[in-house]
Structure formats: structure tokens, C-alpha cells
Amino acid sequence: ELASQPQKSITIPVHVVESGDSLFSISKKYNIFMRSIMRWNNLKESSILRIGDVIYLSNPNKAAKS
């Protein structure tokens, strides 16, 4: 009876890019290493962020397995 089991919702902290945001400003805002944010989101330092982009603030792969 798997259907009766409550589903675990996986929540990953994210940031939605706003006007003026950069990888650097997001890393400072949340006190997270910029390198980590780039790795979790497959971004480069030269990547262009667009308003509305969703940026993971933790490792999405770890969250999916827990």
C-alpha cells in the first residue's frame, strides 16, 4: 500500500535572480562560497544570470537522495 504513505517533499533552498544580482552578490547574501554555487548550478564565473533564474543554494544531488 505505497499510496497511503505520505510523500516526502524534497526542499532545496533556492534564490530567484533579481535585477542586479551576480554570483558574487548571491554568495555574499547567503554566506555561501561562490565556487559552491557555481558547482551546484553548473555555472561558470562568466555565466550570465537572467532575472527569474532559479539558483540552488545547496547541493541538489544530496537533497534528492535524502
Contact 15, 26 (CB under 8 A): yes
**Residue at grid coordinates 562568466:** 46
pTM of the shown model: 0.78
Would the pLDDT of 60 be above 80? yes
Amino acid 44: pLDDT:
95
C-beta of residue 61 within 8 angstroms of C-beta of residue 36: no
Higher pLDDT, 61 or 39: 39
Q: Residues 10-40: pLDDT tens digits? A: 788 999 999 999 999 999 999 999 999 999 9
Asked if the model's pLDDT at residue 49 lies above 60, the reply is yes
